[in-house]
């Protein structure tokens, strides 16, 4: 196994348990750096492409960021796969944001037309199209997973992380972007990993799977979960009101729940509800964010 990571948002400490294991190697590199992929792909039969800029809010990522770090990076990886040969399959973590604001909830994989309302969602949809084209042209299989919000103890962005950080800085008040009614599916990272493995048993050249929990939680419910995890139930929630009908930001999908029947037909089931995934993550993050002091009691 070869792990390639630029470590821009990750940490080599997360790989410490694998150091010295036979067949494991780590390569610090960027997909956008010419020549970085040949070494990593040598002898590989499968590729798990999880690299991307995950920020939906334009305050945290520009159109250029999404194009280069998502679309161009995927193109460079697929070109390397084509050139090297030998790769039998590519796993790609896409996003529920490719659906935009669907009229069918829960949303199935064959829903259309796909009209993303964020540049992040648009970049993920562009990557899906590239994967499909390369698979048909060059004969390797693609496994595309349209993920709900994936959370876990190493989360370093997203609403749970943001709420935890805000409470560290001000234990008496928690700012919530939007009107608080935004409601989405959250999936614990272990459930996600199991889904990525389950999908590989499907046949076909291009496979698309929704992956998420069976329910959804609101932003206000997440706020309460994070307050509870930090022992700050008394903190006042302040709603900003948001934009475009109560969204946290332009491009924020208000309601998301995926139809996961296709991946379930392969034997996969989530072990956690959305609330359980959120609270478990919030408890882990409450244990400490590096460089940010814990709030004082009261």
Least confident of 13-17, 63-67, 169-173, 219-223: 13-17
**How far is C-alpha 86 from the geometric centre of its chain's CA atoms?**
28
CB 33, CB 224: distance < 8 Å = no
Alpha-carbon span 288 to 274, nearest angstrom: 22
pLDDT of 272 reads: 98
292 has pLDDT over 90: no
Alpha carbon distance 265, 105 (integer Å):
19
Place of tokens 């009614």: 181
pTM: 0.94
pLDDT at 298: 37
Task: Over range 161-174, report the average pLDDT.
Answer: 97
Tell whether the model's pLDDT for residue 206 goes beyond 90: yes
Phi first, then psi: give them for residue 144, nearest 5 degrees. Answer: -105, 120
Catalytic residue among 99, 120, 134, 161: 120
For the chain, the residue count is 298
Alpha carbon distance 25, 23 (integer Å): 7
Query: Domain 31-217+246-286 is in which class?
Result: alpha beta
User: Each residue of 235-270: pLDDT tens digit?
Assistant: 999 999 999 999 999 999 999 999 999 999 999 999
pLDDT tens digits for 26-67?
Answer: 999 899 987 878 888 988 999 999 999 877 766 667 889 999
C-alpha to C-alpha distance for 154 and 281, rounded to whole angstroms: 8
Annotation marks residue 145 as catalytic: no
**pLDDT at residue 58, as a whole number:** 63
Q: Return d(Cα 184, Cα 277) in angstroms, integer.
A: 12
Domain regions of the chain by residue span: 31-217+246-286
């Amino acid at each position: 196994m070869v792990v390639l990571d630029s470590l821009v948002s990750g940490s080599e400490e997360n790989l410490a348990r694998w150091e010295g294991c036979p067949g494991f190697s780590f390569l610090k590199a960027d997909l956008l750096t010419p020549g970085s992929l040949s070494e990593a792909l040598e002898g590989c039969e499968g590729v798990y492409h999880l690299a991307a800029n995950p920020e939906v809010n334009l305050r945290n990522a520009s159109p250029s960021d999404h194009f280069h770090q998502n679309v161009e990076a995927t193109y460079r990886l697929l070109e390397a796969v084509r050139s090297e040969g030998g790769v039998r399959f590519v796993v790609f973590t896409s996003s529920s944001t490719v659906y935009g604001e669907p009229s069918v909830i829960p949303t199935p994989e064959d829903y259309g037309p796909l009209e993303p309302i964020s540049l992040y969602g648009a970049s993920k949809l562009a990557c899906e199209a590239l994967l499909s084209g390369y698979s048909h042209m060059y004969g390797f299989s693609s496994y595309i997973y349209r993920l709900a919000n994936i959370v876990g103890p190493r989360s370093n962005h997203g609403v749970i992380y943001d709420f935890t950080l805000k409470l560290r800085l001000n234990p008496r008040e928690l700012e919530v972007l939007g009107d608080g009614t935004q409601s989405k599916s959250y999936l614990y990272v272990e459930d996600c990993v199991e889904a990525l493995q389950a999908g590989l048993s499907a046949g076909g050249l291009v496979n698309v799977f929704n992956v998420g929990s069976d329910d959804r939680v609101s932003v206000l419910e997440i706020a309460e979960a994070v307050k509870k995890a930090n022992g700050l139930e008394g903190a006042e929630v302040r709603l900003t009101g948001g934009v475009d009908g109560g969204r946290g930001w332009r491009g924020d999908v208000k309601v998301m729940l995926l139809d996961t029947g296709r991946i379930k037909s392969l034997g996969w089931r989530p072990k956690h509800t959305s609330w359980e995934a959120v609270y478990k993550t919030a408890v882990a993050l409450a244990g400490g964010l590096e460089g940010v002091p814990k709030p004082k009691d009261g």
